[in-house]
């Protein structure tokens, strides 16, 4: 017997959580669930066959559906064209998106949260069009010698006499850097002996920008992650976001949100993996029994169910803490804990599910195979698991064990 479709296996009722979800949160969750099941999941195999790149007309349709479902720019303010969701509401949406493979949700119109700190002019030129799905941004921090350790960033922004800055940088792994119309670039303004980490808005049309390499990666993703050179690129004083020297603070708040988002998407991945694999194992017979009746198959699924359930509570609790205005440092530490736990658990879950599918689990048409490749990067980007552990340990020492655990 072959795998049942998702529609046959998923319950119709929304997943209940022990959080006080109001009507609006439930509506948002339902919209994201419908969009994921009706739009994203049916496109997965085509996206995989095309190495992640769907045709333009299909992408346009995904954007239209997302707009109609009210899912664009979730965390951005309504004044800027976003939805003004809380982090809890956003996490519920990311959880649904996480149930689909190939990151097709990346086409849902959105923009990095730093635009909330940008000038009115930048909001008009970049943020509003991004939330309408007319352009994409990219965020360039990592370099050849600066990954986990941003203090090694070599990018410089030299003040120009008469105003503005001259930017020189080589940025690595710039997600959507191949298609972006605008980059947010981290560079050090040199002020005497001091290096002031600063975020700059750099329009793609500026002279001096060159894509040096657009390598293939393990996952089949909608866009590339190219290496980009910025050579003597001139930007205006007004192109600084968050003030000169304000780059690290903005970066920290971005990391907190992104890590909660990854934690939520990993819960969604485990949810889908367990649905599909339980259905398969209950239907597959070998050696005179359903393979679900063999503990070698079923116990790993039980362990992943426990991980998913615990990870879900952790991710949503951190989101709710952030919404309640808890100490941002504590939230930062706990967001790292949620990202660490859920990304490691989701990868384990995908590996277990591949094993339960046997040879079928090694086919690219199989959801567990795709998740196994796609979830790997969640243990690397937005800070590796080792860096999350460092942040958690710092939290244990500075915030105290009790605050970190409760």
Ligand X SMILES: Cc1cc2nc3c(=O)[nH]c(=O)nc-3n(C[C@H](O)[C@H](O)[C@H](O)COP(=O)(O)OP(=O)(O)OC[C@H]3O[C@@H](n4cnc5c(N)ncnc54)[C@H](O)[C@@H]3O)c2cc1C
Contact residues for ligand X (CB under 6 A)? Answer: 139-142, 147-148, 173-175, 217, 225, 377, 380-381, 383-384, 386-387, 390
Q: At closest approach, how far in Å is the CB of 347 from ligand X?
A: 14
Q: From its phi and psi, is residue 20 left (phi > 0), alpha (psi between -120 and 50) or beta?
A: beta
Which three-class secondary structure state does DSSP give residue 194? strand
Q: How far is the CB of 379 from ligand X (least distance, A)?
A: 9
273 vs 377, beta carbon nearer ligand X: 377
Pick between residue 60 and residue 212 the one whose CB is nearest to ligand X.
212
Which among 267, 366, 367, 380 has a CA at the least distance from the CA of 317? 267
Bin 134: left if φ > 0, else alpha if -120 < ψ < 50, else beta. Answer: alpha
DSSP states of 104-123 as a string? GGGGSS---GGGGGS-HHHI
Measured from the CB atom, the residue of 177 and 361 that comes closer to ligand X is: 177
Buried b (16+ CB within 10 A) or exposed e, 28-66: bbebbbebbbebbbebbbebbeeebebeeebbeebbebb
Q: How far is the CB of 139 from ligand X (least distance, A)?
A: 5
d(CA 41, CA 29): 16
The CB-of-138 to ligand X minimum distance in angstroms stands at 6
Could you tell me what percentage of the chain is helix, strand and coil, using 3-state DSSP and rounding each to the nearest 5?
55, 15, 30
Please identify the residue of the shown chain whose CB is closest to the bound ligand X. 147
The residue among 261 and 300 lying less far from ligand X, judged by its C-beta, is 261
**Alpha-carbon span 211 to 173, nearest angstrom:** 11
**Residue among 312 and 379 whose Cβ is closer to ligand X:** 379
Instruction: Give the nearer residue to ligand X in terms of CB position, either 141 or 322.
Output: 141
* H/E element, 140: strand 137-140
d(CA 130, CA 140): 17
In the bound complex, what is the minimum distance in angstroms from residue 344's beta carbon to ligand X?
13
Contact by Cβ (8 Å): 248, 197: yes
* Minimum distance, C-beta of residue 174 to ligand X, in the bound complex (Å): 5
Cα(338)–Cα(343) distance, integer angstroms: 8
Q: How far apart are CA 365 and CA 378, in angstroms?
A: 21
User: Shortest distance, CB of residue 177 to ligand X, whole angstroms?
Assistant: 7
CB of 122 to ligand X, least distance (A): 19
Smallest distance from ligand X to CB 390, Å: 6
Cβ proximity to ligand X: between 140 and 291 the closer is 140
Three-state SS at 293: helix
Q: Whose Cβ is closer to ligand X: residue 146's or residue 326's?
A: 146
Nearer to ligand X among residue 174 and residue 367 (C-beta): 174
Give CA angle at 215 (214, 217), nearest 5°.
130
CB distance 199 to 114 below 8 Å: yes
């Amino acid at each position: 017997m072959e795998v049942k479709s998702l529609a046959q296996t998923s319950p119709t009722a929304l997943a209940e959580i022990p959080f006080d979800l109001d009507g609006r949160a439930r509506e948002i969750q339902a919209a994201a669930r419908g969009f994921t099941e009706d739009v994203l999941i049916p496109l997965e195999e085509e996206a995989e066959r095309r190495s992640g790149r769907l045709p333009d007309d299909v992408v346009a349709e995904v954007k239209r559906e997302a707009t109609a479902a009210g899912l664009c720019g979730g965390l951005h303010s309504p004044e800027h064209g976003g939805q003004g969701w809380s982090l809890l509401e956003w996490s519920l949406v990311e959880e649904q998106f996480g149930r689909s493979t190939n990151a097709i949700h990346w086409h849902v119109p959105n923009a990095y949260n730093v635009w909330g700190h940008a000038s009115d002019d930048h909001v008009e030129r970049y943020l509003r069009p991004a939330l309408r799905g007319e352009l994409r941004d990219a965020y360039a921090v990592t370099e050849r010698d600066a990954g986990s350790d941003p203090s090694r960033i070599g990018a410089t922004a030299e003040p120009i006499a008469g105003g503005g800055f001259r930017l020189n940088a080589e940025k690595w792994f710039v997600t959507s850097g191949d298609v972006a119309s605008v980059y947010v670039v981290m560079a050090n303004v040199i002020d005497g002996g001091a290096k002031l980490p600063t975020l700059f808005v750099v329009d793609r049309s500026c002279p001096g920008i060159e894509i040096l390499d657009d390598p293939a990666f393990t996952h089949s993703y909608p866009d590339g992650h190219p290496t980009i050179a910025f050579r003597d690129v001139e930007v205006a004083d007004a192109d600084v976001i968050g003030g000169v020297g304000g780059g690290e603070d903005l970066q920290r708040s971005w990391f907190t949100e992104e890590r909660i988002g990854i934690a939520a998407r990993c819960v969604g991945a485990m949810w889908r993996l367990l649905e599909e694999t339980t259905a398969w194992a209950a239907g597959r017979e070998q050696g005179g029994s359903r393979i679900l009746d063999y503990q070698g198959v079923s116990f790993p699924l039980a362990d992943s169910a426990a991980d998913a359930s615990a990870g879900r509570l952790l991710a949503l609790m951190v989101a709710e803490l952030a919404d309640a205005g808890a100490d941002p440092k504590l939230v930062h530490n706990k967001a790292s804990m949620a990202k660490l736990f859920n990304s490691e658990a989701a990868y384990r879950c995908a590996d277990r599910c591949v094993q339960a599918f046997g040879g079928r689990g090694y086919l690219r048409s199989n959801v567990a195979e795709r998740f196994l490749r796609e979830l790997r990067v969640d243990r690397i980007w937005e800070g590796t698991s080792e860096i999350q552990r460092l942040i958690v340990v710092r939290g244990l020492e500075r915030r105290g064990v009790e605050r970190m655990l409760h």
